[in-house]
Amino acid sequence: MSYKNMFDAPGDGSQDENTLYSLSGEFLEAARTLQSVPPTKTKYSHVIYYLLGHSAELALKAFLFKRGHTLEQLMKIGHDLGKLISVAAEHNLKSTKDTIQLKELSKLYKTKQYEYRKNSGVNLPDLQCLTEEIENIHTAVFDALF
């Protein structure tokens, strides 16, 4: 079942915090894998940023789902990582204070600029720091869920 279809199938039992968290881990692992690939003619930076953003989005949504937010409420937040961080902080998720790079990523992520790249110059977050921030969020969500 695709990510979009997951939210189109209310009540079928496939959408829960465990599914969201599991998908988050897959996106995080894919980003780590691409980061370990030696540079070639093809740069993977936008793909890595997208994967990291999606991992953060799904992890935060898993946490919020566990805290009682409905899928409909999560859909209204959409891809706004800044809003997800803010709402998760209201629910006392640890590791939401040190998210400078993730908030920077949010500006481009919510407008899908990592999926549909424009030729204009953009300031990208520090990749190593961003990865660490998302790993910290991932760990905090894991601790909150399990």
pLDDT at position 18 over 90: yes
Among 14-18, 52-56, 81-85, 104-108, name the one with the lowest average pLDDT. 14-18
7: tokens are 């939210």
Residue 120 has pLDDT above 80, yes or no: no
At residue 130's C-alpha, the angle toward residues 129 and 132, to 5°, is 65
Report pLDDT digits (tens) over 29-86.
999 999 998 877 667 788 899 999 999 999 999 999 999 999 899 999 999 999 999 9
Nearest-angstrom CA–CA distance, 120 and 85: 27
| Cα–Cα distance list, 56 to 3, 11, 21, 32, 121 (Å) | 14, 24, 10, 13, 24
What is the predicted pLDDT for the residue at 117? 67
Helix runs in 1-146, H state only: 3-8, 17-35, 45-66, 71-77, 81-90, 100-109, 127-145
Domains and CATH numbers, the chain: 15-145 (1.20.120)
Global pTM reads 0.85
Q: How confident is the model at residue 6 (pLDDT cuts 50, 70, 90)?
A: very low
